[in-house]
Every structure is written in C-alpha cells, then in structure tokens.
Structure 1
Amino acid sequence: MIHTATRQIVAWLIACAAMVAAFAPVSAQDLPVEARYGDGNIAVELFADGVPTAGEKWMLALKFTPSAREWHGYWSNPGDAGQGMMLRLDLPAGWEMGEALYPVPETLLISGLMNHIYEGEYAVLVPISVPANAQIGGIPDIAGHVEYLACTDRICVPQDAVLVAGQGGDFARWQAETAPLLDARGTFEIVGKTVRIAIPLPGAVNLPAPHVFIGNERLVDYAAVQTFMREGDMLVAEIPLDEYGTGEAEALSGILAFGDGAGVRFEAGGGNVPRLSTMIAGPIGADTPPLWTLILGALVGGLILNIMPCVFPILSLKALSLARAGESEAKARSEGIAYTAGVVLACVGLGALMLALRAAGEQVGWAFQLQSPAVVIVLLVLATMITVNFAGLFELPSLSFTQAGKPGGAFATGLLAAFAATPCTGPFMAAALGAALLLPTVQALLLFAMLGLGLALPFLLIGFVPALRNRLPKPGAWMQTFRKAMAIPMGLTALALIWLTVQLGGRGFAMFALVMLFGIVLALAVVGRLQAAGKMAWPAFGLIAAPFVIFGAFALPYSYAAPSAQPSESIHEPIAFSREALAKARASGQPVFLWFTADWCVTCKVNESIAIERESVRDAFKDAGVITMVGDWTVRDEEITMFLTDQGAAGVPLYLWYEAGAEAEQLPQVLTPDLLADLLAEKADR
C-alpha cells in the first residue's frame, strides 16, 4: 500500500488546492451566508432532543444534508484520506460533551486509497452529560462551531458552520441508525504484522459482508482485505497493520459493519484471541471455489509436479524397480505405500511449517525453503549425490532408485522427491495453495496432503495395479544405461542450484560451496571403489568428507553476501516492484503488466522465455504504452509475500494486468507464446 503519511499528504494537498481554487478570489467576509454557515456542498443543522433533565444524558444531533448525490462526508476516522468532524460547543458550566456517535459508515476505494464515508443524508449524535444540580428552565441556548470536509470522487472542499441548537429532528430514526455499543468487551492482540480482534457477537447475527472500521488512526492498513473467522458467539477479525504506522495500541474501538447497512460499535482491550476454524470472509473472497474444487486442484497440481526434471528421474527409476523379475505383489504395495507416506508427510510438514511461520508473523509463501541459502546448499549436496549415484559412482542400498528394497528406502525416496518437487506452483495448484494460506488449519493441511498424494499417485498406482507394472519394460541391462541417462536431468538440477547459490549468496559463497561439494564427491568416489572391491566403504567417506564439511560450515557464513534488490534482467527494462511504484504506475493512466518470478522457479523461467522475453512482445508493449514491472522473489521479500497473499497466491509465478483505471486481472500461470499479444489486441478492440 501507499505510505500512510504520503497518502495523507496527497489528500491534504488535494483539499488545499480545491480550497484555494474555490475561495482564493474572495475573502471570508465576502462569502455568501449559506457558504459560511454550512449550507453549501453539505449543509449542517444542530438539533436538541427536547428539554434536558438534571442528572441524565441529553442528546444533540448534527444533521448533514448534501446538496447533491455526488457529495459525501466522513466518519471520525476518515481512512487513508479525508478529514473527520471537529466540533466545539459552548455549554453551560458543568455540562460535558461526550464522544460523538456515528451511523455505520461505508467504504470508498479510489486509486488504492480507502475512505470511510457517508453518502446521502446522515446524522451524528452528541451525548451531553447534565449535572444533577443543573437549573433547567427549558432548552438552554447552545451554540458551537463545526469543521468538516465535503468531497466528491474528484474534489474536496473544507467547510465550517456556526451552530445554534434548535428543536425538532427525527431522533428516534437517528438513534436507530447509530451503531449500538456491544455490552461485552472484546480482546485484541498484535501478532507479527497483523492485529487480531475477538468480538463477542451472537451467532444468530447474519454477516453477509463484514467489515471492521477501526477508530485508532494509523494502526491498520485500511485498504487491506480483512479475514473473518466465526464459531458460536465469537467472531475473530484479522487485519494487516499499516506498514508505516505505529504498530501499537493500548485499546481498540471501532464499528463492525454487517454488510447490509447495519452494524455495532465495539471496544476491545489487550488479551488472548482464540484461533477459530471456520472462515466466513477473507482475502480469497466470495469467489473462492468450494473445498472439493480446491482439493481436486491440489491433487492434479501434485500430479503435474512429476514431470519436473528434479522429480521425473526419481519417479521413473523407482517405477522401473517395481518391474524387476520376481517382484511380489505384497512388496510392490508396501513400497507404493511407503513412498506415498514419505511424499505426503513431506508436503504436510512443509505446509505446517509455513503456516506456523505465518502465524508467528513471518511473511513466507510456498517454496519459502528455497529462499534460504542454507537449505539451497543442502539441496545442492543432495542433488549432486543423486546425480553421481545415477552415474554409478557409488551405491546407497538404503536409498536405492533402481532396486526394490525395504519400505524404509521407498519412504526416504518419497521424502526426497517431495522436497525437490515443491519449489514452484504450477497449473491447478495456484488457487489451492493460495486458499491454504487463509483457510482453517485442518482444511489447509488437507490441501497440502492432497498435493502430496497427487505427487505420489503414479508410483502408488504402479504398486497397486499389476496391469500398469506389466506394461513397464522388462528388466535388463538397459536399466543401467537408463539410470545413467537420468543422471543428466539431475545434473542439470544441480547446476541450476549452483547458479541459485550465486544469486542468493554471491560468487564467493558459491565458490566455497563448490569446494565443500568437491570434497563430498571425492569421498563418494572412494566409497564407490571400496564398494566395488567388496570392502567396508562408509568410514572412509566420513574421514575424507569431514574436513571439507567443517570447512564449509565455517567458511560459508562468512562469505555470504546478501543480494541487492534490483529488477531481473529483461528486454523490457521493467521497474522493480513496490506498492508505491505500482500505485504511481497505475496513476499514470497507462496499462501495467506486473509479473512475479524467482530464479528457482522452473515455470517462471519457461514462461519468460516463451512468452515475455520476446522482441515482438516488447515492441507491442512499447507501442501500447504498457508499463512493465517485475517482482523478484528469489530472496525472501516481505512486501512481495504480503502482496501475493492479497492476490490469493501462495507463490510464483503470478501475472497481473492492470488496464488504465481498472483493478488487477490475473493471467494464467502457464503463458502461451501469443497470450500477451492477443491480450493487447483484445484490449485495443474494445
């Protein structure tokens, strides 16, 4: 979102410019009476609710009446722009003015700025505390002065009025329109970059479109999508904090709007907020697919992961192992179950860790593990070991890819396959994983489990369906040749991880990683020779590899150099993503193409090579005046993670098209070569 202070400055500059343009030619004394007394864009009148009674509350009301439908006023906390009412009353000695009571406001979002407004006629009630010893002989003379802001979607005009209380007014209706205060007090807590509010609300109250208007200024991001969980008579709202706000509050107050013009006021103090399991509204919105659709998307998405170069060799060789002569039905099933258990456990474990980190306030998304240099080093070592294993340099019986062994080996293989396959979100996975970040924990973990089941499904079917195993090629010497051929894609995966190591930690970091890796490969080569001679091999591995591993443990942290934030190399020369840069680009009136990528995302790089990084696309964008912007998520970036979450995405790739003056349009995660050109042509024809 736009920096809060910047938004307020912009709003005030607009208001001041409007005021200068409207009033500069004349002095205040020259203004017509109706302008000075509030009968201009929005007129205001002060009414008294009958004769006051000593020792009791007495009610005044300010009735605001716009001169036309286009004008609107503001709630006490106007939001990102605007100005709340400032009221002064001349009261008898000892009489006290209470906090103004407002109707339920409405939201107005303009160019990313959220305003809390009132359209049409509305009334603000002002309670007055009358002393018990007050001498009352009728309605006292009450005068005052009010300053407020009258705005349209294009212009704001400061107004003020001199007030004199008069009789009349529809107090019964105005009090009914005012949001009543809940009897029970709520609680709130600030967790990471989110404020969580527990509001005691009867379960019978219908909430078609809930929204919380926070009275505390500069605490929350007003334009952010709010999440609501509900169980019984308790409602929990989660609202992102204002990135540039105070981030602190001793107490909270506000209005909970139900979505049909009704609502209640609430007050909350610091305390524990329960974690509820039923979400009724959130960033994924009303268009969220049903749970069964998300489950199917996760299952199909996991299935597609099997064709990734870091998974396909493992899967194919394990599948061929089941076709070995003499393989029993029982052993085939047990290996299939063990492999599936390993895959599902890895996916659920990664998902649970991600959800736990997010609950603790960390801004992480799917494939967060590849944003950690330490994890990438571990993956590099594993990919290299698998590569040289495929090449026949050594054997690891407990984790054999070409022989049917014990279920423990299949389980470990499943763990490895899942860990290697999960960096990118692919087709069908986007909606499911985006929803998993927002759904209750049990449902979210179910989606991660279905992702794992989809990844393991081919091997599981081969283990349980003899007809599929019978279709596999018969075992023979060719399997060793095939195994060595599979070392090529795994080797390419290792090379890609070396390149990623450079991107994450710099050349020095990658060089020390290669030194350590050389020692490990050397130790494995010695192991292979000893195995071929029928001798004890693995103690030698420890003796040779240990010095290199110790060297890496000390050298790698000291050589790590955090990468500088800069846009990825592209023929489009895109702007680096930030919320401020995006708001500025959208305000230019030109279309904007924004894409999010990462160096470790295979899908991202394929899309870029076939659909984005093309001279024809660059020329078409240039002719149409398209502003290009890229968010590089190779290294953890909290602003990008929060933005992805707002878009209902758990990871990359994500492609957004902003037509001038319109909201984001999400493009498919798999881009065809002509998709962007066709999109431009379609927009031009409209």
Structure 2
Amino acid sequence: MTSASLPVIRRVFAALVALLGAVLMLPVAAQAQDTNIAARLLVEGPVAKGGETRIAIEFSPKSAEWHGYWSNPGDAGLGMQVEWHLPAGVTIADFHYPPPKTLLIGGLMNHVFEGDYAVVAPLRVAPDAAVDGPFELTGKAFYLACTDKICVPQEARLRAVVGLGQGKDNPRFAAFQSALAAPLDQPARFAVEGDSLRIAIPLPASLDVGTPHVFVGTRELVRYAAPQRFARAGDVLVAQIPLAEGAAMPASLSGIVRLSDGTGLQFEGAPGTVPTGGEPIRMGSDLPPWWALLGAALLGGLILNIMPCVFPILSLKALSLAKAGGSEASARKDALAYTAGVVLACLALGGLLLVLRASGEAVGWAFQLQEPGVVVALFLLAVALTANFLGAFEIPGMAITGGGASGRGSFATGLLAAFVATPCTGPFMAAALGAALVLPWPLALGLFAALGLGIALPFLLVGFVPAIRQRLPRPGKWMVTFRRWMALPMGLTALALGWLLWRTGGTMFLVVCVGAAASVLGLLAVLLAPAQRQQTRRKPLIAMFAIVAPLLLMQAAGQFNPDASNPSSDMLDSQPFSEAALAQARAANRPVFLYFTADWCLTCKVNESVAIETQASAQALDAADAVVLRGDWTRRDPAITAFLTQQGVAGVPLYLWYAPGASAPQRLPQVLSPRVLQDLATASARPDDNSR
C-alpha cells in the first residue's frame, strides 16, 4: 500500500462509518428523534405568478458543541439533502451557503458550520403554475449533526405557506443574505498542473484577503487537509491545492474562498490560463503558538552570539564584558543600557521591515545590507573602530574604550552590535522571523524584541548575576593590550566590507570609498587624538578633512557601478535561480540542490567554504546528475524575496534539496556539516548507479 493511497482509504472509511451510523440510527430517529440541530423553513414573502421569491432553511444547534456541514462536507460528514413536495409549476433552485469553516479531526478535514446559520434558495412560480392562492411548501431535510466525538443523522419535516400576490417581506432575509458567500461578477479560471489544481480567482488587488482558504465544491477533486498555497498576481488571487489521487480534470468548477475576516466569495470557473509567479501569501494557519515563536526568537538571538556572522562584533562585546568587572551598580547600568540599545535596534529594523513590506516593497531580513549606502557606512565605521582599538584616538563615553561605566556608551554599543549582528539568521531564527512577516504587527514586534533580548542576554546575566561577574578579570592595564588585539577581528571586518564594496560596485567604487575612509580617520584623529589639542594646528586640518571626506563620499556615489560587480568563482557550475529553472529541473526528474546566499552573510560564506564549494561535494553532485541552482540575494531581488517568503523564511541562508519525484523539498540546516551534500547526492545516485 502506498502512502498516497492512505487519504483515499481514510475518506472511504469515514464515509462508510457515517453511512453505517445513519442506517443503524434511523429506526431510533423514527421512534424518538433527538434533535441536535433544529431546522426551520422560512419564506421571504409573497410571490406573483411568473415571479420569484426566496426560501431559507434556518439551522439552530442545541449547544455549541454541535456543527452542521457544507454541501461538500470534506473528508467526512454528509451534506444536506431535501425531498420537496411542490405544486406543479413551482421550482426551487440550488441552495446558497455561507462560507464554511475548517475542522481538522484525526487528519480528516471537515467543512462545517458552527452556531446558527441559514441556507437560501430561489423559489420560482411559473405563469401557468397550478396555484390560485396561498400554497403550501412541504419537504423533508436529511442532514448530519456532529460533535468532535459523535455524529447523529437528522431528519426535519419542513412546512411553510407561500402567499400569492403582494405582501410584506420577512426582514430576517436581509441578515441571511449578508451572511452568504457573495457571488463574483467575473468567472474564475483553473488548470491542472502536475499534482496540483491551480485556480485564478478575480479579486481586486486592494482587497485584503489575509490568510484565505478555498472550499472546492466538486467532490473528491482535491486533498482537503493538504496545505493550500496562495499568491497575488495583480487583480487575481491564485490558489494552488494538491489534487486527490486519481482526480480527473473537471469541465467546470465552483467553490467559496473564505477570507480572514470570515466573509466569503462564491466563484464559478472554467478551464483556462492561470498566472504564474506573483507575490506569495504566507499562510499562518500552521504556525506554532506565539509563545513557542517567542522562545525560538529568544534562543535564536542567544545562539547568534556564537554564529560566524557575529564574529566582527565580538571585540565590542568582549570589552563590555571586561568592563562589567567593576562595581555592581556600574555593571547593571552597563547591562541595561546595552540591552536597551540591542532591543531598540531590533525593534527599529523589524518595524521598518514590516512598514516596507506593507507598502509593497519586496524586502526581507537584513535588507539594510542590500543598500550600497549602508555598506559604505558600515565600512567607514569598521575602519574607525579598528583605528580606535589601535589607540589612534579615543571616543569619549563609548563603552568600548575600556573606561568607566557609561550608559550612553553601552547603549550605543548595543545599537551597533545589533545592527551588525542581525544580517544573518541562525538556528531557530528562521521560523520566528518568517512568522513575523504574517502575524499582526504587535505580535511581530514582540518577536523582534525577543530576538534583541536573546542577543543581549549574556550581558544582562553578567550585569545582574554576581557569581558570573566575579569570574571575569578585573579591569587593569591588560585591557589596553586586549583592546589592541581586538583591532584584528575588527580590521578583518573592515576588509570583508571592502571586499563586499568591490564585489557589488567595482574597483573604482572601492578606491573612492577607501579614500573617504582615510579622510574620516584623519578628521577623527585631529578631533580626538590627545596629541592634537592646540587649536591653531587643528583648525586647518579639521577644515581640510571636513571638506574632503564628503566630497569623496559624493564621488563614491557616482562611481558605483552594479554592472561592474565581480562574480565569485563557482565550483559547482550552478545556474541562477528562477522559478522556471527550478520547474524545468524537477520536470527532468533530476535531484536539485537550491541554495540562497549573499556576500554580506558570513554564515553563508562559511557554509560554502566548508560544505558547498568543495571538491568532494562537486564530485558527488556531478555523480548524482544533480542540478545546482544558486539564488544571490546580495542585492534586492523581488523573485528571490517572494520565494523566501513562500518558504516561510525572512532571510538567508536557505538550503533546499529536491529528491527526484519528491513533492516537497527537504530543508537543510542553516549550519551545514561537511558531508551533508555528499550524503544526499550519494543517496540520490544509488538507484541509477548500474545504468549510468
């Protein structure tokens, strides 16, 4: 038995159980039926011959635990059926339903109604109908009433009198109508692609759909419990739903799309072209609880302290730790100020990210490093801090100087630490930051604050736990030597940022930026160096550097040339990522390794040197006939941002392995072991070893 056949077997089993329950309980219902959901027939008002009115069946559960079913009940349950006894020439059309809700029990998806609800249908009287006055409608409604544990078949005798001619309408029908799924005035289009049904539903781009769900009216067409994927393509909402096993292409399609606010829209569709691409909509229905996401953000921020992308700021943190060896009040003051700086920086970056995405910008986490101006500012800052560590000048009040306690200095250090530390994502951060993009903004900002608290947590503990603080070396002359040694990692950071400037903007861009950095150093040295305190000697130098530095920065903007970027070597002979390239590679039934990287992401670069850009990995991937796709997110790329959002992550790195024939990729950890690609490629190559 294949795993793909299990959903079909479960649906058949559920239907047999429901049918058996109905057969066994019909005699009991005939004797003394327990009405768990009462049904009542209502008429909107009188009708003339040749005219039309509406009827409604109102359902009222006896308690909140009972629910009814939509016309397509899903994997289990039964839809309503009515046997009418009507005068000749009187007809009742199909019922219109409110948008149902999803109820997942034991892996079976049910389409249900909770609480009171009503279904509405048109009633038409032909001009030659066999009625001359008020006439009676009678019928029997057969439906199912269920709780989470039991189902009871229901039978309701329906009766109402319809007036003929003119009269007052029932005011309750206005409420019934407003609760129904409103019909769209344009047809939908659908297509079967691979193992998925794709539906193009015409909805204005200005309409906030939130996290929608599509209820398909055609039975046994889709896998009801499978996750649905959505994307926005202008004024079209594109839904992608996995097909049920053995499902055939229908001639037409109908259904309801339910929006996050509980309203629904009814659509009718025919086969046609469905747009590809678009802006993916991240679904929040399968997100972990918020408290779990909060813990993941906190733990991710804590781990970020030892991730390679944080190494450039370890010098700042090490000196702050050393300073905490002073008085208890001083340590607590530094810890709180540092924590406030880190949390505020994370909140500011997270808030700006949410605002930009809400305005339609395709950005993700670490978006600030996709802007050349920000990289230039960080380069100048790294150069200045390196010179500061070497003793070229002293920055008054900064905690990194090794002086006394300074709330402002620790706060500034926290701001800087978070700004430099947050570009790369580590373990646990991916889920939290991805969820932050779809949660309401107060909850999203809570995750960003937890991330900042995690980054600052070691310093907070040092400041408030004396036992930890007592194990730290006491302040002394050693700090001067230590600070100079810390110029080494900060200098390497400046070199890495210079390399990034060269990679993204070309050689001349880097040269001018280096000149600007030299001018900034000269200005700081004149202003802050102890040997330059004579006013008569300082003023000409200050004026010169104050003029030269801005001029060079303006010149750098003119020298920036993205077309002159220098691509890095690629041992894997990778192809640039695109949705089309991925679909083509998967259609060829070849293994696919898809990875997303950026030149400013140190975690990415470490993984590439250790596990990806190695001779062993290249040989294993080649032996497996694998396709390697590389998404470079160094600069903004809306297609990559959309794909990352679709995968539920907010930044890089991201590593996906598509085995031949697999319906979904395997997500690899964000810190790769040296053999992970070799093992995956070897496993994929084994079935074909004898034929290649």
Q: How does 1:330-409 map to 2 (within 5 A)?
A: 330-401=329-400, 402-409=402-409
1:445–1:681: structure 2 CA closer, same or farther, 3 Å change rule? same
Question: Is 1:629–2:641 an aligned residue pair?
Answer: no
Residues 394 and 525, structure 1, Cα contact 8 Å, conserved in 2: yes
1:548–1:354: structure 2 CA closer, same or farther, 3 Å change rule? same
1:434 offset after TM fit, Å?
1.2
Residues 591 and 657, structure 1, Cα contact 8 Å, conserved in 2: yes
Decide which of 39, 52, 59 is 1:56's aligned counterpart.
52
**Deviations 1:590-643, CA, capped at 9 Å, x for gaps:** 111100000000000001111011111111111111111010000011111111
Q: Residues of 1 paired with 2:612 and 2:327: CA distance?
A: 50
Partner of 1:642: 642
1:680 offset after TM fit, Å?
3.0
1:566 offset after TM fit, Å?
10
Q: Residues of 1 paired with 2:591 and 2:407: CA distance?
A: 55
Partner of 1:667: 668
One-letter amino acid of the counterpart of residue 54, structure 1: G
- Tell me whether 499-508 or 534-543 shows the greater mean CA deviation: 534-543
Q: Residues of 1 paired with 2:335 and 2:621: CA distance?
A: 50
Q: Residues of 1 paired with 2:204 and 2:419: CA distance?
A: 27
1:612–1:284: structure 2 CA closer, same or farther, 3 Å change rule? farther
Q: Residues of 2 paired with 1:53 and 1:172: CA distance?
A: 30
1:552 offset after TM fit, Å?
3.2
SS of aligned partner of 2:438: coil
One-letter amino acid of the counterpart of residue 311, structure 2: P
One-letter amino acid of the counterpart of residue 51, structure 2: G
1:481–1:573: structure 2 CA closer, same or farther, 3 Å change rule? same
SS of aligned partner of 1:266: strand
**Deviations 1:423-474, CA, capped at 9 Å, x for gaps:** 1001221111111111221111111111111111122222222222221223
One-letter amino acid of the counterpart of residue 562, structure 1: P
1:569 offset after TM fit, Å?
3.2
Question: Is 1:242–2:233 an aligned residue pair?
Answer: yes
Q: How does 1:505-654 map to 2 (within 5 A)?
A: 505-529=505-529, 531-532=530-531, 534-535=533-534, 542-563=542-563, 569-654=569-654
SS of aligned partner of 2:413: helix
SS of aligned partner of 2:517: helix
1:211–1:516: structure 2 CA closer, same or farther, 3 Å change rule? same
Residues 513 and 556, structure 1, Cα contact 8 Å, conserved in 2: yes
1:645 offset after TM fit, Å?
0.8
Q: Residues of 2 paired with 1:678 and 1:317: CA distance?
A: 42
Residues 195 and 241, structure 1, Cα contact 8 Å, conserved in 2: no
Q: Residues of 2 paired with 1:550 and 1:258: CA distance?
A: 52
Question: Is 1:322–2:324 an aligned residue pair?
Answer: yes
1:55–1:383: structure 2 CA closer, same or farther, 3 Å change rule? same
Q: Residues of 2 paired with 1:266 and 1:369: CA distance?
A: 39
Residues 231 and 237, structure 2, Cα contact 8 Å, conserved in 1: no
CA RMSD of aligned residues (A): 4.5
Question: Is 1:300–2:296 an aligned residue pair?
Answer: no
5+ residue gaps, structure 1, are: 1-51, 60-97, 106-126, 139-169, 199-208, 216-223, 228-238, 248-252, 269-280
Q: How does 1:443-454 map to 2 (within 5 A)?
A: 443-454=443-454
Residues 527 and 542, structure 2, Cα contact 8 Å, conserved in 1: no
1:474–1:264: structure 2 CA closer, same or farther, 3 Å change rule? closer
SS of aligned partner of 1:256: strand
Partner of 1:65: none
Q: Residues of 1 paired with 2:518 and 2:413: CA distance?
A: 24
Q: Residues of 2 paired with 1:510 and 1:371: CA distance?
A: 16
- Tell me whether 385-394 or 438-447 shows the greater mean CA deviation: 438-447
Q: Residues of 2 paired with 1:517 and 1:629: CA distance?
A: 37
Q: Residues of 2 paired with 1:576 and 1:673: CA distance?
A: 23
5+ residue gaps, structure 2, are: 1-47, 56-92, 101-120, 132-139, 144-155, 157-175, 185-201, 218-225, 239-253, 268-279, 688-692
One-letter amino acid of the counterpart of residue 55, structure 1: G
1:330–1:540: structure 2 CA closer, same or farther, 3 Å change rule? farther
Residues 344 and 449, structure 1, Cα contact 8 Å, conserved in 2: yes
Partner of 2:314: 312
SS of aligned partner of 2:666: strand
1:405 offset after TM fit, Å?
3.0
One-letter amino acid of the counterpart of residue 303, structure 2: I
TM-score (ref. length: structure 2): 0.63
**Deviations 1:116-159, CA, capped at 9 Å, x for gaps:** xxxxxxxxxxx999899x56799xxxxxxxxxxxxxxxxxxxxx
One-letter amino acid of the counterpart of residue 406, structure 2: K
1:186–1:412: structure 2 CA closer, same or farther, 3 Å change rule? farther
Partner of 1:160: none
1:498 offset after TM fit, Å?
1.1
SS of aligned partner of 1:320: helix
1:288 offset after TM fit, Å?
2.9
1:414 offset after TM fit, Å?
0.8
Q: How many percent of aligned residue pairs carry the same amino acid?
A: 47
SS of aligned partner of 2:622: helix
1:371–1:618: structure 2 CA closer, same or farther, 3 Å change rule? same
Q: Residues of 2 paired with 1:416 and 1:299: CA distance?
A: 19
- Tell me whether 463-472 or 666-675 shows the greater mean CA deviation: 463-472
Aligned length: 495
1:304–1:256: structure 2 CA closer, same or farther, 3 Å change rule? same
Residues 187 and 197, structure 1, Cα contact 8 Å, conserved in 2: no
1:193–1:305: structure 2 CA closer, same or farther, 3 Å change rule? farther
Partner of 1:196: 208
Q: Residues of 1 paired with 2:379 and 2:212: CA distance?
A: 48
Partner of 1:47: none
